[in-house]
């Protein structure tokens, strides 16, 4: 079960196969983000346990990040990928929908959507075999959502994502879990 002090769900048994892409849907406040945090080990499940296999390289996109960051977008990507040259960094950020003006700006002055694009750029350029995405389309414009959808469809690893947008996850997910009644729909 998941929750902080009080269970938000009935007991769950989630087994994920390589390449499976699961979307969790449902109303706000019913435990979708909490489930992801329990799977990641950021909060303990109550009661129960989470067992994860070996050789996992997880990329995690948190719904909201509260930390202040004084880096420019270029510095942020260079810090994460010191082997990239300037042209590669600029190309990666541009592919995520950031203009030259944004790329050279400090992250603190960016909008929520622009900050999300920088965070997505880091995740999409990291070698992972599992992506855990908590509402990755929040704050994104239509073009950025389409680019993200294209990248996730092409992604060969497994995905767990929370989303409120059927038009976004419908073409990506192999399974959709309705977290209001914890039922599954397989595509």
- pLDDT tens profile 87-113: 999 999 998 889 999 999 999 999 888
At residue 34 the predicted structure's pLDDT band, cuts being 50, 70 and 90, is confident
Residue 144 has pLDDT above 80, yes or no: yes
Residue 2 has pLDDT above 80, yes or no: no
Displacement of CA 17 from its chain's centroid (Å): 18
Decide if 77 contacts 84 (C-beta within 8 A): yes
Cβ within 8 Å of residue 75, ≥6 positions away: none
Annotated domain spans of the chain: 1-57+129-142+155-187, 66-126
pLDDT number for residue 16: 86
pTM summary value: 0.85
Decide if 174 contacts 21 (C-beta within 8 A): yes
Could you say which architecture CATH assigns to the domain 1-57+129-142+155-187? 3-Layer(aba) Sandwich (3.40)
Backbone torsion region of residue 29, taken as left when φ is above 0, otherwise alpha when ψ lies between -120 and 50, otherwise beta? left
Q: What is the strand order of the sheet 21-25 is part of?
A: 58-61, 130-134, 158-162, 21-25, 175-178, 183-186
Q: Which residues pair with 134 in a beta bridge?
A: 162
CB count, 10 Å around CB of 173?
24
Decide if 179 contacts 172 (C-beta within 8 A): no
At residue 8 the predicted structure's pLDDT band, cuts being 50, 70 and 90, is low
- Measured distance between the N- and C-terminal CA atoms of the chain, rounded to whole angstroms: 25
At residue 1 the predicted structure's pLDDT band, cuts being 50, 70 and 90, is very low
Residue 46, both tokens: 């109550």
pLDDT number for residue 13: 74
At residue 151 the predicted structure's pLDDT band, cuts being 50, 70 and 90, is very high
């Amino acid at each position: 079960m998941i929750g902080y002090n009080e269970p938000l769900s009935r007991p769950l048994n989630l087994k994920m196969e390589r390449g499976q892409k699961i979307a969790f849907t449902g109303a706000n406040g019913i435990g979708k983000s909490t489930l992801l945090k329990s799977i990641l080990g950021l909060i303990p499940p109550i009661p129960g346990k989470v067992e994860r296999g070996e050789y996992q390289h997880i990329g995690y996109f948190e719904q909201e990040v509260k930390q202040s960051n004084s880096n420019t977008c270029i510095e942020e990507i260079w810090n994460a990928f010191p082997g990239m040259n300037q042209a590669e960094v600029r190309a990666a950020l541009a592919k995520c929908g950031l203009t030259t003006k944004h790329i050279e700006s400090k992250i603190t002055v960016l909008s929520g959507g622009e900050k999300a694009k920088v965070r997505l750029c880091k995740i999409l350029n990291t070698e992972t075999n599992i992506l855990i995405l908590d509402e990755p389309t929040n704050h994104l414009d239509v073009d950025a959502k389409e680019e993200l959808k294209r990248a996730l469809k092409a992604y060969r690893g497994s995905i767990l994502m929370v989303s409120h947008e059927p038009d976004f996850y419908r073409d990506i997910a192999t399974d959709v879990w309705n977290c209001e009644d914890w039922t599954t729909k397989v595509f």
